[in-house]
A and B are shown apart, each in its own frame.
Chain A
């Protein structure tokens, strides 16, 4: 029999490397969701009245949605009903840290980060990357704050922002993703426990890449973080997020919301490397990654660019989108999504052209292996007043083996006849020919597969900051636990 197949099977049997559980004491509240829980979360976080009211409005809306039809049903993914009353909506490390330095951090947590390959201390020294680490729900360490403060950049946990900059939070929270947006965004608005907040003032170019690592640790804990990034006029910021989670048999829900606001001439670059636990080879366990990410190019000449590398999660459901409201604004979406074993992904973007001469670029690379199902779903909408709008979409699928699937649902709605649209799509398969060619040159089958896949994704990796591009490539080859029939 073919040893290509065997090698690919061996790859499939590689273990998830990030699947350790950290044993630290946690503070939790009872399972389930009701108005009292919402009040409890808000009280624990010592929130101002406007936050509590917003949460309650969201909760009431969510409760009515749940009664009507629960989760949206249109995505091309399958999962059993979620018991929302069986989830704990708040979990925080018990020793609430008010740290002067990393030395004061719980050593267990530090070790976790080290296993993840994020030595905070080292990053502080070497990389020039400021990390706001979210451990379960509460931010435990924020580095580089001083340097950022010097530039006037606010980079802190969402909770801190609520305490220290309530006027900014109140002004922008829900301005891009309203609490009524969709089932999961509504749930998030009701219960979100923490997240990151960034504000870059007028004319400031953020002096370093901002980075957040999220990690779901506690069993049966949903993680609902919320990120809000505001780039004021002429500001620039590049933000990176990386995600992993330990192995659990049960599924865990992750319903995050990210809102970006770019004012006149501002630019936001948002990069994600998502490696949540994908479930085992049989499709048991894994994260349900139901995330709403949206950016608003509110000002003229503004630009928002999303880059995502999605290799983890049992189910990925996310559509980082751009509302191109300001004239001449630009939206970009670069995506690599890999599904292996029984993973499912329904991901893509929406580019909503409202302003004049707005431009958008969509490059999506979907890789399906094993029994993985990979769906690209995209909408490009040119509104009536959007004269001179342009879109370029490239949507490629790569299949490894014969039990996986690739699906594409591109929607294009044009209401202005001056629009120029381009759409390219391709589907290809890693063939025996390609593998043999690389192996004949001396490469092992697994290295051959990852070389082909990395080549396929190059256009997207190019958009990632250097150190993340390297990490993404490594991650891809580890995640290519591709089983081929």
Chain B
């Protein structure tokens, strides 16, 4: 059974149609990349899947793990194993990373009917994840994202993903604002978390991220529609020809 099935999804924001009939199927363990120019609707797609409000779904449906995803609140989707790495992670002054993540994990465990994890069990697990992502332990007791560099914020997103162990991770422009070294570090973390039980949707503007996180499938989103889908080579073609050509080709077919 597929993990995610998007059927004919139409989404409107402030009376503008942004997504105009998206169809996409993601199976367990697959990594899909959604590429597209600015304003094509790729971030909207990510946000709708993560259940952000203020998006009006005018048609279509989304099945996630057999459930009607569009009927879930953001925290319910999260508890069902859907995670989004934010393009702009927010700062939460006064709340330490470790406290925040333990609260989040326990909220999810509670939803699933599991016992809450106490600090004694949580900390060793957390340290493991830090090690896996080659992150500094000092991050544990710093306030969430406060005073973090762009690269640290993105790595922190991946750390959260590692702790929450989602079934579906959506990476929303995780490469934006990163220099090449930071990008490599983040990609390494993401790759470490790839597994047959975990699907990913990697939303990006640039092909360069896909040199480091090699997807199984690439989809090109232009003007609210997926105009082409293919294997990773499609990303290279895109890099060469640009979105305009791809769109023209797609319309010509």
Contacts and interface: CB of A to CB of B under 8 A. Distances in A.
Contacts of B53: 1-4, 432, 436
B135 interface: no
Interface string B72-107: 011101110001101011101111000011011101
A437 B104 contact: no
Nearest to A451: B95
B104 A443 contact: yes
A45 interface: no
Given A2-B53, A3-B73, A437-B86, A456 B78 contact: no
A459 B30 CA distance: 45
B52 A442 contact: no
Nearest to B91: A434
Interface in B103-117: 103-105, 107-108, 111
Contact of A436 (B52, B101, B107, B164): B52
Interface string A424-466: 0000000111101111111111010001101111110000000
A451 B74 contact: no
Interface residues of B, number: 32
**Which one of B75, B90, B100, B105 has the highest number of Cβ atoms from chain A below 10 Å of its Cβ?**
B75
Interface residues of A, number: 27
B50 interface: yes
B73 A459 contact: no
B223 interface: no
B171 to A, nearest CB: 13
By secondary structure, the A interface counts as: helix
B143 interface: yes
A2 B107 contact: no
A197 B126 CA distance: 49
B73 A439 contact: yes
B92 A455 contact: yes
A73 to B, nearest CB: 36
B92 A439 contact: no
Contact of A455 (B54, B86, B93, B108): B93
Contact of A441 (B73, B78, B111): B78
A442 B165 CA distance: 12
B160 interface: yes
A181 to B, nearest CB: 36
A438 B92 contact: yes
B143 A442 contact: no
Contacts of B83: 440
A434 B75 contact: no
Contacts of A452: 92, 95
A455 B93 CA distance: 6
Nearest to A437: B90
Nearest to A2: B53
A444 B75 contact: yes
Contact of B89 (A437, A444, A454): A437
Interface in B48-68: 50-54
Nearest to B81: A442
Nearest to A396: B93
A455 B75 contact: no
B104 A441 contact: yes
Interface of B: 50-54, 73-75, 77-79, 83-84, 86, 88-90, 92-95, 100-101, 103-105, 107-108, 111, 143, 160, 164
Interface of A: 1-4, 431-434, 436-445, 447, 451-452, 454-459
21 contacts: A1-B53, A3-B53, A4-B53, A432-B54, A437-B86, A438-B92, A439-B78, A440-B51, A440-B75, A440-B83, A440-B86, A441-B160, A442-B78, A442-B104, A442-B111, A443-B103, A443-B104, A455-B95, A456-B93, A456-B94, A459-B94
